[in-house]
Structure 1
Amino acid sequence: MADAPNLSDDDEQGCHFALLIIDMINGFDFPEGERLRRQAEAAAERIAALAARARAAGVPVIYVNDNFGRWRSDFRRVLEHVRTHTAGAAIAERLAPAERDYFVLKPRHSGFLGTSLEVLLHHLQARCLILTGIAGDLCVLFTAMDAYMRGYELRAPADCIASADQADNRRALELLRESMRVDTAPAESIDLRRES
């Protein structure tokens, strides 16, 4: 009899980093959605490159995504809807999750509020979160605040974060740097090697 597959993800435990991709699987069907989509497209390419590097380094990739008020949904249904019926299809294709990626659906702005994110991060023994996604001045910022209060070290590569308004995005990044000591250097500067 063949061995059953390991579903516990033990090989990813103890990784210093976790990469969070916040709200990038998105239909952009709301006021200012088109403006945000245009900004998000540039960030999506850099997020995809960072995610590929993370996977190659054994760093967990976690999609932290809005449930869009669909309480009976799951991430795969959200992804399929966005890919087939919305203006966010190209971004969803570019950021298509890999088989071993994780998914957390959130009902509000913060990835921590009312979700299993904290339990998952504890299981993975992650101590440093790399925050990417949209919107920098809302969901990324609120997730960063909650992570900061929980004692996580934070990175928020400025080239992987977008908001509908660039000035609002700059202010959010400034707040992350000044109030929470978040490193906002570009994604390519992040060394993803595990700590020994």
Structure 2
Amino acid sequence: MADKTGGTALIVVDMVNALAFDGGDRLRKPAEAAVAPILGLRDAADAAGVPVIYVNDNGGAWHSERSRLIESALADEAAPGHRLTLALCPRHDDYFIIKPQFSGFYATNLPVLLPQLGVSRLVLTGIAADICVLFTAADAHMRHYDLWVPADAVAGEHPERTRWAVEIMANSMAAETRPTRALTLKEWLDAAD
């Protein structure tokens, strides 16, 4: 599915996640708060013909693939990230890339997929704002992608570190960081024209 809007993709980072790690309980509430803005962006992306790309950590499961990662994240209903994964579960036509490290670009096929889709602009969402989203944004910036990182569509364990990461992306990577209530996907797409 090629982007019909001049090269934009919606990236959802690490939201298929049981949050079964140290600090996962602290991340649950902020991550769940980002679900509605991400779903709104996903709906707008669908309406505009913008590809949706999930970029997800392998969680140390080196033999894993998409269905196994989703199944694992949903296996324990009591896990902090169960509701998060349920709400944002990738659909059949969404792209799904497994990453081994923090950046969605490092040792993945994302750098190959984006040019195939004609993408030059990225909307980055997900967790954690101060780690995986930040590293993905840095790699995207170095590759000359225009960035929108909606402040309400990213989350982290610590509010001050999340704010700090969003400020770095805005100031050092020229990322647009207005939240989805202040900027719509349509407005972001129109600004490219």
Per-residue Cα deviation, 1:141-160 (whole angstroms, up to 9, x for no partner): 00000000000000000000
Query: 1:44·1:94 contact (CA, 8 Å) conserved in 2?
Result: yes
In the alignment, structure 1 residue 60 sits paired with structure 2 residue 51: yes
Equivalent in the alignment of 2:112: 119
| Distance of 1:89 and 1:163 partners within structure 2 | 17
After superposition, residues 10-89 of structure 1 pair within 5 angstroms as: 11-12=2-3, 15-85=6-76, 86-89=79-82
Q: Report SS of the residue matched to 2:129.
A: coil
Root-mean-square deviation (CA, aligned residues, Å) is 1.6
Contact 1:28 1:34 in 2 (8 A): yes
Runs of 4+ in 1 over 6 A off after TM superposition: none
* TM-score in terms of structure 2 length: 0.92
Pairwise CA distance, 1:129: 0.4
Structure of higher CA gyration radius = 1
CA distance in 1, matches of 2:18, 2:86: 12
The two structures have a TM-score, normalised by structure 1, of 0.90
SS of match in other structure, 1:70: coil
CA contact (8 A) 2:130 2:161 kept: yes
Give 1:123 deviation, angstroms: 0.4
Matches within 5 A, 1:88-167: 88-167=81-160
Unaligned runs of 5+ in 2: none
Give the letter aligned to residue 104 of structure 2: G
How far apart in 1 are the matches of 2:55 and 2:155? 15
**SS class of match (1:96):** coil
- Listed as ranges, the gaps of 5+ residues in structure 1 are 1-8
Q: Match of 1:190?
A: 184
Instruction: Please tell me whether the aligned partners of residues 45 and 52 of structure 2 are also in contact (alpha carbons under 8 angstroms).
Output: yes
Task: String of CA shifts for 1:156-193, please: whole Å, max 9, x gaps.
Answer: 00000000000000000111111111100112413334
Deviations 1:82-141 (A, max 9, x none): 122233111111112222100000000000000000100010011100000000000000
- State whether residues 24 and 80 of structure 2, in contact with CA within 8 Å, keep that contact through their aligned partners in structure 1: no
- How many pairs does the alignment contain? 187
